[in-house]
Amino acid sequence: MSEPTPLSLRDLQALIHKMYGAKDQARGVEGTFMWLMEEVGELSAALREDNHQALELEFADVLAWLATIANVSGVDLESAIRKKYGSGCPGCGKFLCQCDDRLKP
């Protein structure tokens, strides 16, 4: 059996667009941000519990709502990541970061 194709950031944005694009666009950035915040709160709670399956679902929700806001505001997440992290740590420029923590450029 062959491995399934890895899920790319563009696949994720396209999946969310296909499922929810019209209503996401109608809701707009502000309302969508409030949904993201609700899910971030649920992620915070799940991180304090010992239930891996529930934790996975909360990560999925936060990521889905982040992809949604990116869709609504016209941002391509892959392009964003490549610009910011494609050359290594933005602080020190290395792929094994040598900043004190994760400093900003």
Q: Is residue 57 near a second copy by the rule CB under 8 A?
A: yes
Q: Is residue 3 near a second copy by the rule CB under 8 A?
A: no
Residue at token pair 């994760």 = 102
Q: Are residues 80 and 90 in contact, defined by beta-carbon separation less than 8 angstroms?
A: no
| Positions in 19-38 near a second copy (CB under 8 A) | 19-20, 23-24, 27, 29, 33, 35-37
Q: ∠ CA(12), CA(32), CA(103), 5° rounding?
A: 70
What end-to-end distance do the CA atoms of the chain give, in Å?
44
Q: Which is nearer to a second copy, 1 or 7 (CB)?
A: 7
Instruction: Provide, rounded to whole angstroms, the least separation between the CB of residue 34 and a second copy.
Output: 11
- For residue 13, which of 89, 97, 92, 70 has the smallest C-alpha distance? 70
- What is the contact surface with a second copy in residues (CB under 8 A)? 6-12, 15-16, 18-20, 23-24, 27, 29, 33, 35-37, 40, 43-44, 47, 52, 55-57, 59-64, 66, 69-70, 73-85, 88-89, 94-97, 101-102
